[in-house]
Structure 1
């Protein structure tokens, strides 16, 4: 019987190139201790899976505590809470609609604390419209008539005569000043000597 007729010999001949190739591959793969080669970490996939399971358990426990503590109950003061699965009844409570902001009256200007009208000098005779502003009068022997609504009036100096139509505050200092207001009941503050504030 020749080698071509023997099936086992034929199989050995066919397997020989495969075993030679495997032996050559083993020689080219570095061993675990070779320089520059680190073996793949073992158990890393298991650690990731265990971490994911632990995170899922923590999140699930948090959701359970939230639900048990009543985090999803629908309660409003004065209304009973609904049992789970119940549909809420339509609300019949009145709806509060905010009122539009009130506009200031055109007859009384809104005071602007940033604007102060200053009148100074000696022997002046003036009529000034307050228009909701603060007015400060100083100097000597001035006669001033203030019309409209003033935010506040301050008078200082000597011998000034002031007439105010309307103001919530009057402050007088200095010497011998006379302030007359025509309407309202202003808050009056005086200092100095012989200053008079009166209604007239």
Structure 2
């Protein structure tokens, strides 16, 4: 029998490179660069035994890939958590029970300034002229602002004051006294007419009354 055909001898020759590599690793001798092992020699012709063992090469890419996946998950989790917190705060602010700003022990409110009503000045009187008929020899008077009156004299004394009054006197008066401002007086007849104040106008229709004037801008004349 040819010794080259011995199967056990062939197996030993094939396992010899692996044994030498193991001994080299135990002694600390650096292997081939790149972290991979040289492929074993091809089996001799006519070998029908089990397939030759292949050397395993450690892979470092799988660990790096796992690290990147963990980092991406952490970043996504931070973004999602932050969005949930912001949305919750906004929802609480719009809720009916959200606390309002308070100060000094009570709820802060804006003070409302009270409105000031502007008083409306009284307008000129539009009432019709009134007629007063006193007793013979009695005294009568007219005062105020924007009055419009008609008096009847029976030897009476009439006193007119105030502003912007219009007075018409019928009958005969013993004395008519006019003061104030801008009064317009019409007299049928009088014994004496006294005009004082400012810008009063007195007109008489008949007789020859005694006229006394003082003040500024007063006129006494016959119609």
Same fold by TM-score greater than 0.5: no
Higher Cα Rg, which structure? 2
TM-score, normalisation: structure 2:
0.39
Where relative contact order (Cα < 8 A, 6+ residues apart) is larger, the structure is: 1
